[in-house]
Copies of this chain bind each other. A is one copy, B any other.
Amino acid sequence: MSNLPAVAAAIKKSQRLLLCGHVMPDGDSLGSVLALGLGLRWLGKDVTIVSSDPIPELYQFLPGIDTVLVGEVPQQPYDLLVAVDCSVPERLGKALEPVLKSNLPIAVIDHHVNDRPFGQYNYVRTAAAATGEIIMDLLDMLQVPISMELAVNLYTAIVTDTGSFRYENTTSDTHNRAARLLACGIPVARLSNQIFGEQPLASLKLLEVALGTLKVSPCGQIAWLSISQSQIKSVGACEQHIEGLINYPRKIKGVELAIVFRELDERLVKVSFRSKYRVNVNLLAGKFGGGGHVRAAGCTVSGSLDQVQAMVLHEAQELMRGDSGGRHS
């Protein structure tokens, strides 16, 4: 049964609360768990926040982030575990495994599609753009005023899960909530810069080098970049700077399939795929022993950068032809 007042009541009657978001924490998971944690502390509760995985550098600015314990749950008595933004218990990660095996009651607050949430108390609202939206309602229910610190966390939750109000999940209600959070005086430009805006110079230099390798197939539907070890070294870039590069071939008008070839060593290439509307890249990656989702997948292929590129592009073109029913040559 999905019931926010029941979750609120369970929280209200508990004094020692353990709060947890999901593995590989993102803005919604962290912003939600921190807003709830800060709110409950304001109510005088004893709050322990645990993350199984480390906090990405990007989110170190979030108010309260220094109170998050990483990797282990302190051995002390708790009255309730509140699991935020997690549809299955496995999403809580390794650190929470012992707790899940104990008899500690669980409250689940989430916005992912889920027929059988795993708590004694559950509230799942799939229409919420972010779990942060639900936390706002819960805090209202608990009569916690939205301080600036809470507002920054809640705004981060919403703005990251909606891609800055651009994704399909963004509703009129989402903007109403943002309006309320901005009225608290949060520094929008500074937050946006921190979350979306800032890049080290090395990452722009890598982008320049990568764009120099940009190619588009004659049919205009496949675009790719390739990055060698020496190129990465020449600009002083590292792993995290490579991540977003696939968005550039993906951005090109008319391109359905974007690929990034990334040399791991002289005989091994990591290949990433993204498709826009039609091509099943999970299938394509599967042909090379990899996998993923329908619109985002990857694989690691033995061979030189040139060899792997030739093999993969051949398969991609085959798939494209099949997909389009022979319309393109």
Contacts and interface: CB of A to CB of B under 8 A. Distances in A.
A77 interface: no
Contacts of A183: 172
A268 interface: no
Contacts of A251: 197-199, 204
Interface string A186-212: 001110110011111100110110011
Contacts of A190: 277
Total copies of the chain: 2
B200 A211 contact: no
A59 interface: no
Interface centre among A188, A192, A212 (most CB of B within 10 A): A188
Given A179-B175, A211-B208, A250 B165 contact: no
A16 interface: no
A165 B165 CA distance: 8
A interface bracket (residues with beta carbon within 8 Å of B): 35 or more
Contacts of A199: 251-253
Interface in A199-253: 199-201, 204-205, 207-208, 211-212, 214, 216, 248, 250-253
User: What is the interface of chain A mostly: helix, strand, loop, or mixed?
Assistant: helix
A157 to B, nearest CB: 15
Nearest to A168: B189
A211 B201 contact: no
Given A182-B175, A198-B253, A211 B204 contact: yes
A166 interface: yes
A276 interface: yes
Contacts of A208: 208, 211-212, 214
A321 interface: no
A314 interface: no
A280 to B, nearest CB: 15
Contacts of A171: 182
Interface centre among A164, A167, A183 (most CB of B within 10 A): A164
Contacts of A207: 207, 211
A196 to B, nearest CB: 7
A51 interface: no
A173 interface: yes
16 contacts: A159-B165, A164-B164, A165-B188, A165-B192, A166-B197, A170-B189, A171-B182, A172-B183, A189-B276, A189-B277, A193-B276, A197-B250, A200-B252, A201-B253, A207-B207, A208-B211
Q: Which 3 pairs, one residue from A and one from B, show the smallest C-beta to C-beta distance?
A: A166-B192, A208-B211, A175-B179
